[in-house]
Amino acid sequence: MRILLTSDWHLGKNIFQKKLLSEQALFFENSFFPLLKEVRPDFLIVAGDILDKPLPDQETLFFYEDLLRRLSDLKITSLLILGNHDSRRTSLHKHFIELAGIHLIDDLKFFSKPFIWKDKSGKHLNLYILPYLPLYELLEKALSQGFFYSSEEITFTTLFEALLSQIEIKRPAFLVSHFAVDKAISCGEEISIRGYTSDYVFSEKLFSCFDALLLGHLHRPQVLEERFFYPGAPLPYSFENYSDQRGLFFLEWDGRSLSSEFICLKPPYELRIIKGLFEKLLQMEKTNAYIKVILEDKLPIFDAHQKLKEHFPNLLHLEYEEEEILLEGQTIHEELRSSELDERVLFCEFYNYVEKKEMDERLWEVFNKYLEDFYKNERKEGRLCQ
């Protein structure tokens, strides 16, 4: 029984206002779907965070719709669950999509009774599927589907304990869900929204009744205790964690044991952090990678972002190594504004600061002409004494 496990697509993701939808399209076109056609798994599991925002824009929804269409064309049974970034828009029209063999799961239908998969040889697998839902929505769904909960204290842990105590575990039992366990490693890309806090990090012991757990939410691929499988995000979404491996898990269940292989997939874009002095950075080789620059200069550089963008066209973010630089820049401008220097000296100081050189005679002539014209107009309007 062959399973491809992926998660955390985050369709429509932005990094510093750069929308990655076209890069995500390249990934699915050149890496994901060719692999899917080559491996031909019995089923595909997407363990949450399919979309990046609860209210995705129209372009992202159209792209998501196209991915579902392509999955249906391949006729590969697919299980997609909600993550903490998703909303009901992710599972819109789920009953119609299910006709194409794609199950968008946003309730406890396959938790109270498992999704049973049987292959041609007669091997079977019981998949208990628990999508992410906010706490009180999860409680409401549980009560509406026949679960009982009597405790006055309502937390994810107490609710999960109650749910697990009321289901009949049939072997082999795999859990598909979207949460973190306390021994797993987060990488900083995961964002806590819609109630997803440390309350949604659980002890591994809570899930000892399952033979394996196929999970989303953590962006770094990892395996814990040979039972907890996190494929991670297939694309990098932060500069700090670009070097992490990216890909998905290929799992095989032979009826008694589970084997796993992590398949690395190369992202269609590169994220790089470049650090150094402004002048040194301008001497570096140009690159098409998406860039985050950290300037080591002790004083703020005028129009640094625009000048660096001419050298690095995909510059997404600029910051100074010392946060105090911004305050220094503000102080400089305040001092210039509050000084009692006359206009000529003030302009000369400003020009030296911006251009790092002295004004020549031609510039002085132009400046003096405009300054005299300004004074004449002010006197005509009565705003200056004669």
Read off the pLDDT of residues 266-318 as tens digits, 9 standing for 90 and up.
Answer: 999 999 999 999 999 999 999 999 999 999 998 888 899 999 999 999 999 99
pLDDT digits (tens, 9 = 90+) for 198-232: 667 899 999 999 999 999 999 999 999 999 999 99
pLDDT value at position 342?
66
Q: How many CB atoms lie within 10 A of CB 8?
A: 27
pLDDT digits (tens, 9 = 90+) for 325-383: 554 444 444 444 444 456 777 777 777 767 767 778 788 888 888 888 887 777 666 65
pLDDT value at position 22?
97
User: Which of the 8 DSSP states describes residue 110?
Assistant: H
User: Which of the 8 DSSP states describes residue 188?
Assistant: S
Higher pLDDT, 194 or 347: 347
Q: Where in the chain is the domain with CATH 3.60.21.10?
A: 2-264
Q: How many CB atoms lie within 10 A of CB 193?
A: 11
Tokens coding 155: 């937390």
Query: How much of the chain, in percent, has pLDDT values that exceed 90?
Result: 68
pLDDT digits (tens, 9 = 90+) for 18-33: 999 999 999 999 999 9
Domain 2-264 listed as CATH 3.40.50.10860: no
pLDDT band for 108, please (50, 70, 90 cuts). very high
pLDDT band for 166, please (50, 70, 90 cuts). very high
Rounded Cα distance, 2 and 39, in Å: 9
Residue 111 in contact with residue 126, Cβ under 8 Å? Answer: no
Rounded Cα distance, 336 and 351, in Å: 12
